[in-house]
Amino acid sequence: MTLLEIRDLKVYYYAFDGVVKAVDGVSLELESGEFFGLIGESGCGKSTLGNAILRLVPPPGRVAGGSIYFQGEDILQLPEDRMREIRGDRISMIFQDPTAALDPVYTIGDQIVETILAHNPEVSRKDAEARAIELLKLVGIPGAEARVHEYPHQFSGGMRQRAVIAIALANNPELLIADEPTTNLDVTIEAQILTLLDELRRKLNMSILLITHNIGIVAEYTDRVGVMYAGKLVEVGRTVDVLTDPKHPYTRGLLGAIPGRGGRKGRVTEIPGTVPNLANPPPGCRFHPRCPRRFDPCDQEEPALVPLPGEGRMVACHLYRRLES
Amino acid sequence: MSRTLTTLREDLLRFLGGPTVSYMKRDPGAIVGGTIFLVFLMSALFAGVVAPYDPYQADLANSLQPPVGFGGSWEHPLGTDAIGRDLLSRLIYGARISLSVAAVSVTLAVLVGVSLGALSGYFGGLIDEVLMRIVDFWLSFPAVLMAISLMVVLGPGYWNVVAAMTLTSWVPFARVVRGEFLTLKERPFVLAAKAIGVGSAHIIFREALPNTFPSLIVLSTFQLARNIIYEASLSFIGIGVKPPNPSWGLMLGTGRQHILDAWWIAMFPGLAITMVVLGINLLGDSLRDALDPTIKKKLGVVEVQ
């Protein structure tokens, strides 16, 4: 069942020196219970896309077009108070920096209780507190009964992120957006947190949209993956397919930039150049100035996302249109 | 909204409870400052009980009695003034005026300043522009001059002093709260709060405002001290509290005429002003440290990073 359907979403930042098209016509579908990875370099618009789903794009950013259907309802058309009912209840988000995402003046327990009460005013504070302890246990915080009364600064980094996850899960959301949830954590904690998210996803039957630049964790955990470049979705498909047989030259470049791939002789290759300025992207395919395989139409015509053989496989590159014709 | 306000009160109480108190108990500054402040506060509250004489009762037979140790007797420990009123009693009743003028005006200033500052900082835009230009205008006026002009217009009197104090001390609160809100609203936990689906009122009262309490409480104590000095100054130059009220500033002003033959009349009110202001400032300093939520490491709570 389709849980979330993004159609031709455009999110622009109206800055002083021009319009930055951070997300420019992205279409994407998320199935119920699916673990979806969204990868791309820094500044390619993947976090903006995540924020846009909750309608929390910071100013001067604005959704400039498109629609986001959540269980069949276009949430971009909802009035703000209806949207507030969805946030934290049916769609939750966990942020990159768990330290900053927790309010320093409240105990961890208070912050979970607050989330529960915001959406369930009929629940008593006592019941909400019991649920908070239950949630801390669920995310694997030892001594939850005592730690529920502690402040964020008394938690270690990994424990803080677990607490943030507990807050996000407080109302059993159907969709969890995880924006680089482990970037600030060390590798062992990263593995623990992601394994935990994966377990919780199965247990609670929610979908996860994981936003990351780490292809390793995408390979390890996700069912499907989308590759973003300069505000566009350039490739999407089952994780196994995309990572073992990348079609888009950009995806290939990304995979070539991982050390250790291709055995002993394998060399790390970089993608030459940098991400284009999104206020003034190159014409045609946005990747063409850096692309090793560019040809005639690339600098003039923008490639559309076209289906390829394989389950849900799509790519936006002129190479494949040529093959087709 | 009403739930938000009651929980706001709980936040404030919890803030001042537990760890804050245990920290301050170990801080010598807080103990000294707190003791001084408490002595004055108790004097003010129970003036009728502790004052040995009626502060308004003249006794010309005993005028200009020196204090104990300077030729005076225990009848009048701090001596008497030109018309024989007991100085100690007048000081004790004076604490009532000083502290109440300061406390009432600071409370009003907090209400005005915090509301306007929060509106300005959280919503920004035109509201912010207009309010902050008003604040700029206010700040460009020397506060003493403004207080004096207001008193000249309003005339002397207790409530007029309160009004003048309020009108000259709301500005720092507005500025501080606006500044804090500007940074607080960009903090990820505010975005995180929006992501759990709460509204503006919740974010202002439950997320942002409690984070300004440390600054607010500290600023309040300093403004309290400032307003005690201002009240004394206005009364000193004769446009504050009306005689025969035992305002410290008024006593200081009348004592000036006798500074050479009866120094104690001016000396003790001056000392009282200095002591209470010092006490409040020491308390404020300690409160600032104690209210920092990360201060618990000072209490020996081990934090493993």
Q: How far apart are CA A89 and CA B33, in angstroms?
A: 49
| Contact with chain B for residue A186, Cβ under 8 A | no
End-to-end CA distance of chain B: 38
What mean pLDDT, rounded, does chain A reach? Answer: 86
Judge contact between B94 and B272, C-beta under 8 A: yes
| Contact with chain B for residue A250, Cβ under 8 A | no
The answer to whether the CB atoms of A153 and B193 lie below 8 A apart is no
Of B188, B207, B296, nearest to A97 by CB-CB distance is B188
Chain A: residue whose CA lies nearest to B210? A105
Q: How far apart are CA A162 and CA B228, in angstroms?
A: 50
**C-alpha distances in Å from residue A74, one per residue of A9, A69, A71, B198:** 12, 4, 8, 20
Q: How far is B18 from chain A (nearest CA, A)?
A: 13
Question: Which tens digit of pLDDT belongs to each residue from B54-102?
Answer: 888 877 877 777 888 787 777 888 888 878 888 888 989 988 888 999 9
Question: Which tens digit of pLDDT belongs to each residue from B247-271?
Answer: 898 888 888 888 888 888 888 999 9
| Across A24-50, average pLDDT | 89
| Contact with chain A for residue B213, Cβ under 8 A | yes
The answer to whether the CB atoms of B195 and A119 lie below 8 A apart is no
Strand partners, A124: none
Q: Which residues of B touch A100 (CB under 8 A)?
A: 187-189
Nearest to A38 by CA among A231, A318, A297: A231
Q: B2-298: which CATH number, 3.40.50.1100, 1.10.3720.10, 1.10.3730.10, 3.90.70.10?
A: 1.10.3720.10
| Contact with chain A for residue B111, Cβ under 8 A | no
Length of chain A: 325
| Contact with chain B for residue A115, Cβ under 8 A | yes
φ/ψ bin of A63: left (φ > 0), alpha (ψ from -120 to 50), beta (otherwise)? beta
Nearest to A198 by CA among A140, A284, A127, A253: A140
Q: How far apart are CA B142 and CA A41, in angstroms?
A: 54
Q: How far apart are CA A161 and CA A188, in angstroms?
A: 13
ipTM above 0.85, yes or no: no
Residue A180 CB neighbour total at 10 angstroms:
19
Residue A33 CB neighbour total at 10 angstroms:
16
Q: Which residues does A296 contact at the CB level (< 8 Å), separation at least 6?
A: none
Strands A232-238 and A314-315, sheet pairing: antiparallel
Chain A: residue whose CA lies nearest to B295? A153
Q: Which residues of A touch B194 (CB under 8 A)?
A: 54, 56, 87
Question: Which tens digit of pLDDT belongs to each residue from A183-205?
Answer: 777 888 788 888 888 988 998 88
3-state secondary structure of B288: helix
The answer to whether the CB atoms of B294 and A118 lie below 8 A apart is no
For residue A147, the number of C-alpha atoms closer than 13 Å in the C-beta half-sphere is: 21
Cis peptide before B244 (omega within 30 of 0): yes
The answer to whether the CB atoms of B195 and A106 lie below 8 A apart is no
Chain B interface mutation, best of A54, A103, A112, A154, highest count of B Cβ atoms under 10 Å: A103
Question: Residue B8 — φ and ψ, nearest 5°?
Answer: -65, -40
Element containing residue B5 per DSSP (H, E): helix B2-16
Judge contact between B249 and B236, C-beta under 8 A: yes
The answer to whether the CB atoms of A84 and B199 lie below 8 A apart is yes
Predicted pLDDT at B304:
44
Predicted pLDDT at B1:
42
Strand partners, A39: A212, A227
Q: Which residues of A touch B191 (CB under 8 A)?
A: 56, 58, 95, 101
The answer to whether the CB atoms of A103 and B296 lie below 8 A apart is no
Q: How far is A184 from chain B (nearest CA, A)?
A: 13
> Across the A/B interface, how many CB contacts are shorter than 8 Å?
80
Residue B5 CB neighbour total at 10 angstroms:
10
Q: How far apart are CA A105 and CA B189, in angstroms?
A: 11
- Strand arrangement, sheet containing A18-31: A18-31, A2-15, A61-70, A73-74
| Contact with chain B for residue A81, Cβ under 8 A | yes
Q: How far apart are CA A121 and CA A118, in angstroms?
A: 6
Judge contact between A6 and A66, C-beta under 8 A: yes
Q: How far apart are CA B96 and CA B48, in angstroms?
A: 11
Question: Which tens digit of pLDDT belongs to each residue from B196-211?
Answer: 888 888 888 888 888 8
pLDDT per position in chain B (305 positions), as tens?
Answer: 445 556 666 666 666 666 677 777 778 888 999 899 999 999 888 888 888 888 888 778 777 778 887 877 778 888 888 788 888 889 899 888 889 999 999 999 999 999 999 999 988 889 999 999 999 998 888 888 888 998 989 988 889 999 999 999 999 999 999 999 998 888 888 888 888 888 888 888 888 888 888 888 889 998 999 999 999 999 888 888 888 888 898 888 888 888 888 888 888 999 999 999 999 999 888 887 877 666 554 554 444 44
Q: How far is B192 from chain A (nearest CA, A)?
A: 6
Nearest to A70 by CA among A83, A57, A58, A81: A83
Q: Which residues does B46 contact at the CB level (< 8 Å), separation at least 6?
A: none
Judge contact between B198 and A56, C-beta under 8 A: no
| Contact with chain B for residue A108, Cβ under 8 A | no
Chain B: residue whose CA lies nearest to A95? B192
Going by pLDDT thresholds of 50, 70 and 90, the confidence category of residue A267 is low
Structure-block tokens of residue A250: 């950009």
Predicted pLDDT at B301:
47
Q: How far is A93 from chain B (nearest CA, A)?
A: 6
Q: Taking each helix axis as running N to C, give the angle between helix B28-45 and helix B18-25, from 0 to 180 degrees, rounded to the nearest 10.
A: 110
Q: Which residues of B touch A153 (CB under 8 A)?
A: 293-294, 296, 303
Of B188, B293, B294, nearest to A101 by CB-CB distance is B188
CA dihedral A114, A116, A119, A124 (to 10 degrees): -90
3-state secondary structure of A125: helix
